[in-house]
Chains A and B, each alone.
Chain A
Amino acid sequence: MIDTLMQYKFLQNAVISAILASIACGIIGPVIIEKRLVMMSGGIAHTAFGGIGLGFLLGIEPIIGAILVTLGAAMGVVAIKRKTSVNTDIPIGIFWAAGMSLGILFIALSPGYPPDMNSYLFGDILMVSRDNLYIILVLDLLIVFTVIALFHPIKAYLFDEEFSTVIGIKTALIEILLFALIALTVVVVIHVIGIILIMALLTAPPAIARMFTHDLKRVMLYSILLGAFFTLSGLWISYVLNIPSGAAIALFISLVYGAVSGIRVLAQRKR
């Protein structure tokens, strides 16, 4: 595989985008699981499909459409989170379906032959172009910079929002920023694993990482490494078995997560 990697540009792009996706997911994944935002993030992720549809309809780069729409969706979710006191799952669930449906509607309205949407839904890491790579790189840098710059207030917000507000931190702003970063992360990951499979790469690495450390910084670091391991292994599996990369990565993640959890339960029982 190494030889072919050196030979083919598209494979290089695939490897680079896998690593970039792992970095974004490794940083934002812990935010999502510690703040219990899995459902909300799922909602944001699925509206990306609407954004891609919009991109095709307007004749712009679909990824740009996805950035705009997921950012809008993230702000919508923040609004739902603040206004709904009881059960946010219901409005988020509806949001989720509406986002997907908009994508289908926009594609149907687009002139000409309908594009192949499978690569967006399930990921096609081998389709990452140089231009895509640059967009992903910029988004990644934005995510990394923001989280490093605001690490302490972000940690405070995640751990205890009310206390943070009382000591004067603008938690509302931190929240908006984090949701925007979730939206950008979704966009970074679309090509690697696809809209439908994103949640696997966002949740499993931090879930495994936090079994081994009690330090948020390390949870993020380990999540990045685990994410890179998962995506690159998945890529290799898809290459060897000739199956779609998104499915290969997501299945590999599920397998490892199941195994690690199982071993942990057994180990605890022994004690």
Chain B
Amino acid sequence: MNSNTKEIGKIGLYEDDSDAIENAIEVDNLTVYYQRVCALSNVSLRVKDREFLGIIGPNGGGKSTLLKAILGLVTPYSGDIRIFGKSPKKAHGIMGYVPQFTSFHRDFPISVEETVLMGRLSGKIPMFHKYTKEDIDITHTLMEKLEIYHLRNRQIGQLSGGQFQRALIARALTTRPRILLLDEPTASLDTEAKSHIYSILVELNQDMTIIMVTHDMGAISTHVESLACLNRELFYHGRSELSEDLINAIHGCPVDIIAHGTIPHRVLREHHGNGGTSHD
């Protein structure tokens, strides 16, 4: 795998570009501005096919922005993004998106089944669209797999956080994606719901690339295979194991959590006073 992939600060060096595994995502020198605020500065990273990447970093560090840039929802100021060689706006169907579920208006008049079915909508402006039997079969199978089939007729506001999150994952999966991108999928979930979500993701990771923005360091230590630490710039990208490199790289990327993973054990903590970093 990508044992040597690392990138520190603005230096874009990839030691294993010759690796046999195809890159799912290639981001080169990505810079994104919101009006005059710089959200991402010169970020480059490679995500291998079937990698499980966790994106961490402080609030406002550009985690969601990176996800949205990859999804084609945010137009970069400069830089290049390739999804299996395609530009984000032409990569429909390759990427399944699971937005931050806390951002939804949960009182919207829509049932769980309708929500999941939404992923089967296709076309730019589908006129007189009707879901086919195949659409409905795919939807039902996925709902059964994610244990929300029995809830299909409920309005989405009547689900627990974990159930709603699973509905959103099911919806993303109905598009049959090769890459699944999730924005804080376990925020404000209890431990049991969290581990349920992670077990689903680990299983899905057999067949697809997973990119997950998270604050949950527990997950980083147990489920995630590689890490990207963002604070406007990419401070670290590489294997999520405790190593000299990681500790050095994560300098200036304040992650204020101590994680007790099972194997391997990792400690990520905040460092102060290093003059080498440029963020404030």
Contact = CB atoms under 8 A, between A and B. Distances in A.
Interface stretch (A47-55, A87-95, A123-131, A163-171): A163-171
A152 interface: yes
A219 B109 contact: yes
Interface stretch (A7-15, A210-218, A233-241): A210-218
A216 B109 contact: yes
Interface string B125-156: 11111000000000000000000000000010
Interface of A: 30, 34, 36, 85, 148-153, 155-156, 158-160, 162-170, 173-174, 210, 213-216, 218-219
Given A167-B119, A168-B123, A214-B155, 15 more contacts: A85-B34, A159-B115, A162-B68, A162-B73, A162-B99, A164-B121, A165-B72, A166-B73, A166-B92, A167-B122, A168-B92, A173-B124, A210-B107, A214-B111, A215-B109
B73 A165 contact: yes
Task: Please classify the interface of chain A as helix (H, G, I), strand (E, B), loop, or mixed, using the class held by over half of its residues.
Answer: helix
A153 B121 contact: yes
Contact of B99 (A148, A163, A174): A163
A158 B125 CA distance: 14
A166 B95 contact: yes
A210 B106 CA distance: 13
B11 interface: no
Contacts of A159: 108, 110, 115, 118
7 contacts: A149-B128, A152-B126, A163-B97, A163-B171, A168-B93, A169-B123, A210-B107
A160 B114 CA distance: 12
B105 interface: yes
A6 B107 CA distance: 44
B214 interface: no
A215 B128 CA distance: 18
Given A163-B99, A163-B171, A214-B155, A169 B108 contact: no
B124 A160 contact: no
A114 B146 CA distance: 67
B135 to A, nearest CB: 11
Contacts of A152: 121, 126, 129
A153 to B, nearest CB: 6
A214 B119 CA distance: 20
B213 interface: no
